[in-house]
Amino acid sequence: MRTTMILDDHLLTEARRLTRITRLTDLVRHGLEKLIESASRERLASLGGTEKHLRPIPRRRS
């Protein structure tokens, strides 16, 4: 998908410096992946055992 974005030059410079990712497409993709991971983690944590009536999930024993 192609799109036009207005990005803060200082944020791009800092992100490139910290990640060493130079291609803008790769940098944006990496940022979106990390944002999704973080939001998913927060959402899961916010559930915090709200389904009290679930039966225990069977675990494999190693």
Q: What is the pLDDT of residues 6-61, one digit of tens each?
A: 999 999 999 999 999 999 999 999 999 999 999 999 998 888 777 778 788 888 88
pLDDT of residue 39: 95
pLDDT of residue 4: 95
Residue 60 falls inside a structural domain: no
Domain that holds residue 39: 9-44
Instruction: Tell me how many degrees the CA angle 50-33-31 measures, rounded to the nearest 5.
Output: 125
Residue 32 falls inside a structural domain: yes
pLDDT of residue 20: 97
Find tokens 């559930």 and name the residue: 47
**Number of domains into which the chain is organized:** 1
pLDDT of residue 32: 97
Find tokens 């291609």 and name the residue: 23
Residue 22 falls inside a structural domain: yes
Residue 34 falls inside a structural domain: yes
Instruction: Name which of 28, 48, 47, 26 is nearest 36 in CA terms.
Output: 28
Helices marked H in 1-62 — which ranges?
9-19, 24-47
Residue 49 falls inside a structural domain: no
Find tokens 């410079």 and name the residue: 13
